[in-house]
Amino acid sequence: MVATSSSDGEAGTQWAALAGVTAALAMFGAAQGLSYPLFTLLMQRQGMSPALIGLSAAMMPVGLILSASFVPAAVRLVGARNLAVGCSLAGALCFLGIGYLQDWVAWFIIRFLVGVVINPLYVLGEVWALSLAPPSRRGRVMGVFNTLLGAGYAAGPLILITVGTSGWPPFVAAISGFALCALILRAVSSKLTGFEDDGQIQGGIVGFARLAPALLLAVLVAAAVQQSTYALIPVFGTGYGLPEARLAALVTALSAGNILLQIPLGLMAERFGGRAMIVFCALATAACALLLPLVITTPPVWPVLVVMGAVGYGVYTMALVELGSRFKGTALVAGNAAFALMWGAGGIVGPPGAGSLMQVIGPLGLPAVIAGLDALLIAFALYRSAKRKNS
pLDDT value at residue 135: 78
**Mean pLDDT in runs of 10 for the chain (391 residues)?**
44 68 78 78 79 80 80 77 88 87 80 86 82 80 80 77 80 85 79 54 69 92 92 89 83 81 89 91 96 93 93 92 82 82 83 91 93 95 80 64
What is this structure's pTM?
Answer: 0.76
Residues 209 and 154 grouped into a single domain: no
* CA angle (148, 152, 153) in 5-degree steps: 115
195 assigned to some structural domain: no
32, part of any domain: yes
Mark whether 186 and 209 lie in a shared domain.
no
Question: Do 219 and 254 share a domain, yes or no?
Answer: yes
Task: Examine the fold and report which residue of 121, 156, 190 is the final residue of a domain before the chain moves on.
Answer: 190
Cα(174)–Cα(27) distance, integer angstroms: 9
pLDDT of residue 117: 86
Q: What is d(CA 218, CA 17) in angstroms, rounded to the nearest whole number?
A: 28
**Residue 212 backbone dihedrals phi, psi, to 5 degrees:** -140, 65
Q: For the chain, how big is the Rg over CA atoms in Å?
A: 20
pLDDT (0 to 100) of residue 378: 95
181 and 80 assigned to the same domain: yes
Whether residue 256 is found in the same domain as residue 113: no
Domain that holds residue 145: 14-190
Is 33 part of a structural domain of the chain? Answer: yes
pLDDT of residue 133: 78
Distance, in Å, from the CA atom of 258 to the CA atom of 84, rounded to the nearest integer, reads 24
Say yes or no: 84 and 157 in one domain: yes
- 185 contact partners, CB below 8 Å, separation of at least 6: 20, 21, 24, 81, 84, 85, 88
207 shares a domain with 181: no
| Structural domain contains residue 67 | yes
Query: How far lies 320's CA from each of 113, 315, 336, in Å?
Result: 25, 9, 8
Both 227 and 369 in one domain: the answer is: yes
Which of 156, 190, 224 lies at the terminal end of a domain, its last residue? 190
Q: Total structural domains in the chain?
A: 2
pLDDT value for 6 = 44
In this structure, the answer to whether residues 245 and 146 fall within a common structural domain is: no
Residues whose CB falls within 8 Å of the CB of residue 101, separated by 6 or more in sequence, listed in order: 107, 110
Q: What distance in Å separates the CA atoms of residue 134 and residue 348, rounded to the nearest whole number? A: 34
Report pLDDT for 279.
95
Q: What is the pLDDT of residue 2?
A: 37
* Together in a domain, 216 and 256: yes
Does residue 234 sit in the same domain as residue 272? yes
Structural domain ending residue among the three candidates 190, 215, 243: 190
Say if 7 falls within a structural domain.
Answer: no
- The answer to the question of residue 1 being in a domain is no
- Maximum distance among all alpha carbons in the chain? 70
Judgement on whether residues 183 and 279 belong to the same structural domain of the protein: no
Single-letter residue type at 355: G
Q: Which CATH number belongs to the domain containing residue 330 in this structure? A: 1.20.1250.20
On whether residue 117 sits in a domain, the answer given is yes
In this predicted structure, what is the pLDDT of residue 30? 79
